[in-house]
């Protein structure tokens, strides 16, 4: 079975631009979470979606938004990019018990 997939793998943007990152969960998983990992630090929780509804939000500005589609895939949008948004963005999916999360390979975003 395929694991969590994310696209694109790498992305370069300039300050002020907008970016959309995509995630497909493991088949059968209805929960998707997004994390930001700045170089040299642990991942920080951004959002969780379950059954297309937002179930949790971390301490991130309103420039960050997300949604989940009927097939449980998800998009993370970041508007008005700042240099500090440069990071590895990780998506994780989990089953109904939500006990264990499985991470994708991430999208590495560089903002110049």
Q: Which residues bind another protein (CB under 8 A)?
A: 31, 33, 35, 40-45, 48, 50, 55-56, 58, 90, 92, 94, 97-106
Q: Give the DSSP per-residue string, 11-33.
A: EEE-TT--EEEEEEPPTT--EEE
**Nearer to another protein by C-beta: 19 or 35?**
35
Contact predicate 68/74, CB 8 Å: yes
**Cβ proximity to another protein, 48 vs 111, nearer residue:** 48
| Closer Cβ to another protein, 64 or 102, answer by number | 102
For residue 14, the minimal CB distance to another protein (Å) is 24
State which residue, 76 or 92, has the beta carbon closest to another protein.
92
Question: CB of residue 56 vs another protein: minimum separation in angstroms?
Answer: 5
Which of 61, 63, 73 has the alpha carbon at shortest distance from 32? 73
Cis peptide upstream of residue 73 (ω within 30 degrees of 0): no
Whole-angstrom distance, CA of residue 15 vs CA of residue 112: 6
Report in angstroms how near the CB of residue 52 gets to another protein at its nearest: 15
């Amino acid at each position: 079975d395929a694991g969590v997939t994310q696209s694109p793998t790498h992305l370069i943007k300039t300050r002020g631009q907008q970016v959309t990152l995509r995630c497909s969960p493991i088949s059968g998983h209805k929960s998707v979470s997004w994390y930001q990992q700045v170089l040299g630090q642990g991942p920080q929780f951004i959002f969780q979606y379950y059954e297309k509804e937002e179930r949790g939000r971390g301490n991130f500005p309103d420039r960050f938004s997300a949604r989940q589609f009927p097939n449980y895939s998800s998009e993370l949008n970041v508007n008005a990019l700042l240099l500090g948004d440069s990071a590895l963005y990780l998506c994780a999916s989990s089953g109904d018990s939500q006990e264990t999360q499985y991470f994708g390979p991430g999208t590495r975003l560089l903002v110049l």
